[in-house]
Amino acid sequence: MSDIADFLTDSENMGELGARLRSRRLERNLTTQMLAEQTGLNRKTIMDLEAGRDVRLSTVIKVFRAMHLLGTLNATLPDTLPGSQALSVRGQPRTRAYRSAARQS
C-alpha cells in the first residue's frame, strides 16, 4: 500500500517532518530556545530541523524524546518479534559466506 510520502522527494519529506514538528512544538507552547535547552541542542539546529534541512538522526531522536514523541517514531519500525523472543528465535549468529579459493571458469 503506497502512502503519499512515497511519492515525495527526500527533501520534501524532511520539510514535511519539520513542519509537523514545528506544529507540535507550538501546540505545546514551546519556543525553539526552550526546546533547544530541553534537548541540549543549539537553537539553530532546532530551526534547521523545522525548516526541513538535513540534520543528524540523533538530533531527530533527541527532539522526539523531548516532545514525548519517541513512541511514535518507534512505531514506524516495529520489531517483528518481541524483544527476548526475537533473540531466542534467531539462534546462531549469522556468519559471513566466503567464496571458495579456486574459481572455476
Each residue of 9-55: pLDDT tens digit? 999 999 999 999 999 999 999 999 999 999 999 999 999 999 999 99
Q: Where are the domains of the chain?
A: 10-78
Residue 6 has a pLDDT of: 80
* Range 10-78 has CATH code 1.10.260.40: yes
Residue 57 has a pLDDT of: 95
SS3 content of the chain, % helix, strand, coil (to 5): 60, 0, 40
- Cβ–Cβ < 8 Å for 34, 62: no
Mean pLDDT of 48-69: 97
Q: Report how far residue 80's alpha carbon sits from residue 41's, in angstroms, rounded to the nearest whole number.
A: 33
pLDDT band for 81, please (50, 70, 90 cuts): low
* More confident of the two residues 26 and 98: 26
Residue 74 has a pLDDT of: 80
